[in-house]
């Protein structure tokens, strides 16, 4: 099956639900990324919705040439075929620029001249979060003669002008109530990086809205970004999707699997074995007697629907 293959008419998607899988082509899929692919695909099918793929290749120095198409082939081998065209973030610069300009015009984005060193030394008692210092707001009231490097969101200004509380709350479909004080835990976060590249937070928010994404299903390591994304959605007057963050696959050393810590590329010979491992990671049972990929996917979809989409189809609820 090619990755652009059409699904039969009997399986056509309902209009209300659009989900997505958004891999960064910094290498091939690994066992952890297949979990996000499978879970987002199952959630879309359980809601009779559409499943889109977006290749998040904004961080060009980290992208590996050809990894995008190789990922699409890996997905196709697993019979995870997107509905509709694939979106490449590297082609979306104009949309990100327009969003940044909207924020600048509202006075909610400001240029920052701080280097990483400046930020760390400005915070003698630096609060480290994921090894990144919370930005202390040094350039919020002006560059003080430094050349502009990055663009940041003025979190306080957005919250004050939109009358939003300091703590951003949201509901995760698996984890339940979540809350984060973005200003205290991350500070005014970057929209455009000092190297001119678009920041993940801005790109993901602009594209989720442009693609009409109603439901985001992704790994729990990304849950921490959600409050920032919700703030940006509000600042740009964009809808907030529903979120579900899946359990992470841990490597033998107990650390989350990621390309950075050397996760092996998926062994897709045969693909059903890799899919079964991914299913087990999200607590779906594996039936030894089901030896066909489509039958396995149908079995997992039924279980997923009972747990996460009991009133599906979504658009008739
Ligand atoms: N591109 C991100 C990653 O591969 C995922 C972004 C998202 O799902 O919001 O980790």
Residue by residue, DSSP assigns 164-203 as: --SEEEEEETTTEEEEEEHHHHTBS-EEE-TTSPBPHHHH
Model pLDDT, residue 262: 60
- In the reported structure, the alpha carbon of residue 23 is separated from the centroid of ligand 1 by a whole-number distance in angstroms of 5
| CB 204 less than 6 A from any atom of ligand 1 | yes
- Residue 141's CB is within 10 A of a number of other CB atoms, namely 9
What pLDDT is stored for residue 115 in this prediction?
A: 85
Task: Please give the mean pLDDT across all residues of the chain.
Answer: 89
pLDDT at 35: 96
pLDDT at residue 264 is higher than 50: yes
* CA 305 to chain CA mean position, Å: 22
Distance 121 CA to ligand 1 centre (A): 31
CA of 28 to the centre of ligand 1 (A): 14
Ligand 1 centre to CA of 37 (Å) is 11
Does the CB atom of residue 89 touch ligand 1 within 6 A?
no
CA angle 99, 103, 104 (to 5 degrees): 115
The CA-atom distances, in angstroms, between 47 and each of 16, 97, 294 are 9, 34, 17
Letter string b/e over residues 70-91, b meaning 16 or more CB atoms within 10 A of that residue's CB? bbbebbbbbbbbbbeeebebbe
pTM value surpassing 0.85: yes
- Residue 111, sorted as left (phi over 0), alpha (psi -120 to 50) or beta, turns out to be beta
Tracing tokens 């639900």 back to the chain, one arrives at: 17
Owner of token pair 């610069």: 93
Does residue 40 have a pLDDT over 90? Answer: yes
Of the ranges 23-37, 75-89, 242-256, 284-298, which one carries the lowest mean pLDDT score?
A: 242-256
Residues in a beta bridge with 128: 133
Cis peptide before 270 (omega within 30 of 0): yes
34 lines ligand 1 (CB under 6 A): no
Q: What are the backbone angles phi and psi of residue 100, rounded to the nearest 5°?
A: -60, -40
The token duo for 113 is 């001249």
Length of the chain: 317
Specify the ligand 1 atom closest to the Cα of 208.
9
| Ligand 1 atom nearest residue 26's Cα | 4
Ligand 1 centre and the CA of 24: distance in Å?
6
Helix or strand or coil: residue 150?
strand
C-beta separation of 74 from 266 below 8 A: yes
Point out the ligand 1 atom lying closest to the alpha carbon of residue 36.
8
Cα–Cα dist 240/234, whole Å:
8
Ligand 1 lined by 23 (C-beta under 6 Å): yes
Work out the percent of the chain whose per-residue pLDDT is above 90.
76
* pLDDT higher than 60, residue 314: no
Check pocket membership of 241 for ligand 1, CB cut-off 6 A. no
pLDDT at 289 over 80: yes
Question: Measuring from atom 6 of ligand 1, which residue has the nearest CA?
Answer: 22
- Span 6-29, average pLDDT: 73
């Amino acid at each position: 099956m090619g990755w652009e293959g059409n699904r039969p008419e009997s399986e056509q998607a309902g209009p209300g639900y659009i989900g997505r899988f958004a891999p960064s082509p910094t290498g091939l899929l690994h066992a952890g990324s297949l979990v996000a692919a499978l879970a987002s695909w199952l959630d879309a099918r359980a809601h009779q919705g559409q499943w889109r793929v977006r290749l998040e290749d904004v961080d060009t120095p980290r992208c590996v040439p050809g990894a995008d198409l190789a990922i699409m082939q890996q997905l196709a081998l697993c019979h995870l075929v997107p509905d509709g065209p694939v979106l490449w973030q590297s082609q979306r610069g104009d949309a990100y620029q327009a969003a940044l300009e909207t924020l600048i015009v509202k006075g909610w984005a400001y240029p920052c001249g701080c280097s990483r060193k400046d930020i760390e030394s400005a915070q003698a008692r630096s609060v480290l979060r994921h090894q990144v210092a919370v930005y202390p707001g040094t350039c919020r009231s002006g560059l003080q003669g430094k050349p502009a490097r990055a663009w940041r969101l003025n979190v306080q200004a957005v919250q004050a002008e939109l009358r939003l509380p300091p703590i951003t709350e949201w509901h995760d479909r698996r984890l339940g109530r979540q809350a984060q004080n973005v200003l205290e835990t991350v500070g005014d976060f970057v929209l455009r990086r000092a190297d001119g590249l678009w920041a993940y937070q801005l790109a993901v928010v602009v594209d989720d809205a442009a693609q009409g994404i109603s439901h985001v299903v992704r790994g729990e390591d990304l849950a921490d970004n959600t409050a920032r994304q919700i703030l940006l959605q509000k600042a740009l007057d964009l809808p907030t999707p529903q979120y579900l963050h899946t359990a992470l696959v841990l490597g033998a050393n107990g650390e989350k699997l990621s390309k950075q810590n050397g996760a092996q590329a998926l062994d897709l010979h045969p693909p059903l074995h890799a899919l079964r491992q991914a299913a087990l990671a999200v607590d779906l049972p594996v039936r030894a007697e089901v030896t066909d990929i489509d039958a396995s996917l149908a079995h997992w979809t039924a279980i997923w629907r009972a747990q996460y989409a009991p009133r599906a189809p979504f658009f008739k609820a």
